[in-house]
């Protein structure tokens, strides 16, 4: 069974930093691209970042480019999101999500339970 | 940037009725479109990937269709557990990335 478990969230002041982690199990982690998606309270879904299976290709939404860095450690089946220069508008529930495999192009077929990040003074 | 528009914003139906949800892209996304269901307090659940392929374990009453800019999700006969918010999502190749529509709430 695929499991994704996020950790590392919390309350941080504007301008501060946090590092989110996502522990993966139940699948061959290195074979799949992974993503971070966030959801502000009561709002819709926003894609944040993606990383290829090997970790060499990374992509970001314009809203976080230059402030957030995605990485992975395939030896530890772990995904990370380093968030710097946090703003109030970064307050959200952050999900890690696994891209659907094979030749499929669009879809995230497994999601964690989410971790809350609150940016407030 | 590609913008997804979902309609209607809210769909009020009864169990047993047919639901048709629309997702329109501001430019072609080929068939690189997915649909998700989200219930309150839960993570999204993938229903359809690549426009028309049901994800593993998804009941046959869910179906997706469309290509380029116009897509739809159909629930053939609503079950009580289907009342939720539904999001569409595109994948872009150039520039690489993803985006979500604002959602359609299906309620009683």
**What is the rounded CA–CA span in Å between residue B40 and residue B2?**
27
Does residue B90 belong to the interface with chain A, where contact is any CB pair within 8 Å? yes
Q: What is the mean pLDDT of residues B55-62?
A: 97
| CB contacts, 8 Å: B31 with chain A | 105-106
Contact B44/A111, CB-based, under 8 Å? yes
**Cβ-proximal residues to B33 (8 Å cutoff; 6+ apart), any chain:** A106, B23, B25, B50, B51, B64, B66, B71, B88, B89, B90, B91
Residue A102: what pLDDT?
Answer: 79
Of A102 and B28, the structure prediction assigns the larger pLDDT to B28
The pLDDT-based confidence of A80 (bands split at 50, 70, 90) is: very high
Other beta carbons less than 10 A from residue A5's beta carbon: 13
* Sign of the torsion formed by the C-alpha atoms of A8, A101, B82 and B90: positive
Residue B13: what pLDDT?
Answer: 95
For B39-77, strand residue ranges (E) read 45-49, 53-54, 62-67, 70-75
Q: How many CB pairs under 8 A join A and B?
A: 78
| CB contacts, 8 Å: B62 with chain A | none
Q: A48: exposed, middle or buried (C-beta count within 10 Å: 0-12, 13-18, 19+)?
A: buried
Starting at the earlier edge strand, list the strands of the sheet with B62-67.
B4-7, B19-25, B70-75, B62-67
Tokens representing B85? 């918010």
Residue B37: what pLDDT?
Answer: 98
**Residue of A3, A27, A45, A47 to mutate, testing the B interface (most B Cβ within 10 Å of its Cβ):** A45
Phi, psi of A40 (to 5 degrees): -65, 155
Does residue B101 belong to the interface with chain A, where contact is any CB pair within 8 Å? yes
* For B50, nearest residue in chain A (alpha carbons): A106
A residues 25-84 closer than 8 Å to B (CB)? 35, 37, 44-47, 50, 57, 59-62
**Residue of A4, A105, A114 to mutate, testing the B interface (most B Cβ within 10 Å of its Cβ):** A105
- Per-residue pLDDT of A37-76, as tens digits, reads 999 999 999 999 999 999 999 999 999 999 999 999 999 9
Q: What 8-state DSSP symbol labels residue B60? A: T
The pLDDT-based confidence of A103 (bands split at 50, 70, 90) is: confident
Q: What is the mean pLDDT of residues B1-28?
A: 96
Other beta carbons less than 10 A from residue A87's beta carbon: 14
Contact B89/A44, CB-based, under 8 Å? no
Contact B49/A109, CB-based, under 8 Å? yes
* For A43, nearest residue in chain B (alpha carbons): B102
**What is the rounded CA–CA span in Å between residue B93 and residue B32?**
9
Q: What percent of chain B has pLDDT over 70?
A: 100
Residue B87: what pLDDT?
Answer: 98
């Amino acid at each position: 069974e695929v499991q994704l478990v996020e950790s590392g969230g919390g309350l941080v002041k504007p301008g501060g930093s946090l590092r989110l982690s996502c522990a993966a199990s139940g699948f061959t982690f290195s074979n799949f691209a992974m993503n971070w998606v966030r959801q502000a309270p009561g709002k819709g879904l926003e894609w944040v970042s993606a990383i290829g299976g090997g970790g060499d290709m990374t992509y970001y939404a314009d809203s976080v480019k230059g402030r957030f860095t995605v990485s992975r450690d395939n030896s530890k089946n772990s995904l990370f999101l380093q968030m710097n220069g946090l703003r109030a508008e970064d307050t959200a529930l952050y999900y890690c999500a696994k891209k659907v495999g094979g030749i499929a192009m669009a879809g995230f077929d497994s999601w964690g339970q989410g971790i809350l990040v609150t940016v407030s003074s | 940037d590609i913008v997804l528009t979902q309609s209607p914003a809210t769909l009020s139906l009864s169990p047993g009725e047919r639901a048709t949800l629309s997702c329109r892209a501001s430019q072609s996304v080929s068939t690189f479109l997915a649909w998700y269901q989200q219930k309150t307090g839960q993570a999204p659940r993938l229903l359809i990937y690549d426009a028309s392929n049901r994800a593993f374990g998804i009941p046959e009453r869910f179906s997706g269709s469309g290509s380029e800019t116009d897509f739809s999700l159909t629930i053939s006969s609503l079950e009580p557990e289907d009342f939720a918010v539904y999001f569409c999502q595109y994948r872009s190749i150039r520039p690489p990335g993803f985006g979500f529509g604002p959602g359609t709430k299906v309620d009683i």
